[in-house]
Amino acid sequence: MKLVSFATVAVLALVASLAPAQNQALSVSTPLLGGYIEVPAGNQLAPPSITIEAWVTYDDSTIPTGWVYPTIGRKEFTQGVAEWFLRVNANNNNTRQLRLWINGATGVVTLSWNFTAGALAQWTHVAATYDGSFARLFINGAQVAQTAGTGPLAALGAETHIGAGDTVPGSANERWNGLIDEMRIWSVARTQAEIAGAMYQQIVSAPNLVASYQFSGNGLDSSGNNVHGNLISNPVFVAINSPAGPSTYCTAGTTTAGCTASISADANPNVAHSAPCNVAISGVEGQKSAIIFYGLGSNPQPWCSSGGGSSFLCVKTPTQRTLAQNSGGTAGSCNGALALDWNAFQLANPGSLGNPWSVGASAYVQGWFRDPPACKTTSLSNALELTYMP
């Protein structure tokens, strides 16, 4: 296939976009009293309705003796007091029980889910929601427990710990014992469909998203709300194959018909191209000529040097075109779509950009389609980072 270099355009302003995923996770050890992250005092992480979610692993085979409560996250960590926490109540006998605590307006709400030995040894998506009426726990997108609420969550304005709970000397050991990745706090109680539909995505900006922690060697919040955490006691970050899948970044343009094309993929590819990896772009203007293209780096910049239009070129040159296609749908409507079987294209074009792919390599993918009244007669989607897995 022919390599295509899009015209270089001047950068007129700093572009705020999603940071490409670094495929790292926070690693905490209960026996070693490992380092953790502390978010300064405030109420942002304690909205009246809340969703707390993260990908975790938990090693229940190395829990030390004594009173132990390995904690994913806790807001307010005075003994016996919390705004919320999500932890394992291992107690003093290695009990395997995931527990949610919520400080409701008229009383504390607790909800538990028991699991078997080794059940969380592999990557597991854990989510907890509270809307004032009900508290719910979800494992890998499926609801596993529910109980009645006691009114809106009552904020106390305290600090938040990630990877730890109470850390005061002499208190119970509340360090997590495993990995934590892609932790997100929302100001709404997300539905089961929303949790299951987004748990494999790396989301760093979205409506109602209060904070998003990707643990890329730091405690930074990438949501744009600046709810950043500080590193306490030298926390450890380790390289992983991210369970959250492909990451979207950059900003889609709005077409002259008011459409905003959105890109996604169902999974990251592997180097053998043997596991499904399908790229999809929705919200495209109907009946438009289009292509999906990719490069080996990200470099978001305005598509038009004159400042006209709202699209960004999000992929660094050189770039590789895939086959031309028609968006389908209805002309003048936003029901067009583009699709790419990533594996099929790579296997059919072994000389294409990036080949041969290696573990950890990234491809940056974007959609381009005709929009005659727009600047350069075209509009672009947002972009996607695919990271190669073993």
More confident of the two residues 215 and 80: 215
* pLDDT tens digits along 299-325: 899 998 765 678 999 999 999 999 999
* pLDDT tens digits along 166-187: 998 888 999 999 999 999 999 9
Residue 136: both structure tokens together: 């719910």
pTM here?
A: 0.66
For residue 101, which of 67, 137, 57, 133 has the smallest C-alpha distance?
A: 137
What domains appear along the chain, each with residue ranges and CATH number?
3-18+246-387 (2.60.40.10), 24-239 (2.60.120.200)
Percent of the chain with pLDDT over 70: 93
For residue 265, which of 199, 342, 359 has the smallest C-alpha distance?
A: 342
Alpha helices in the chain (DSSP H): 192-198, 342-348
- Judge contact between 243 and 268, C-beta under 8 A: no
For residue 252, which of 263, 238, 240, 267 has the smallest C-alpha distance?
A: 263
pLDDT at residue 237 above 90? Answer: yes
pLDDT at residue 22 above 80? Answer: no
* 77 confidence band (pLDDT: 50, 70, 90): confident
CA atoms of 203 and 208, how far apart (whole Å): 12
* pLDDT tens digits along 350-373: 999 999 999 778 899 999 999 999
> What DSSP state is assigned to residue 15?
P
CA atoms of 149 and 168, how far apart (whole Å): 29
pLDDT of residue 7: 30
Question: Do the strands 3-4 and 84-88 form a parallel or antiparallel pair, or are they unpaired?
Answer: unpaired
- Judge contact between 102 and 109, C-beta under 8 A: yes
- Judge contact between 26 and 215, C-beta under 8 A: yes
> What DSSP state is assigned to residue 286?
B
What 3-state class would DSSP assign to 376?
A: helix
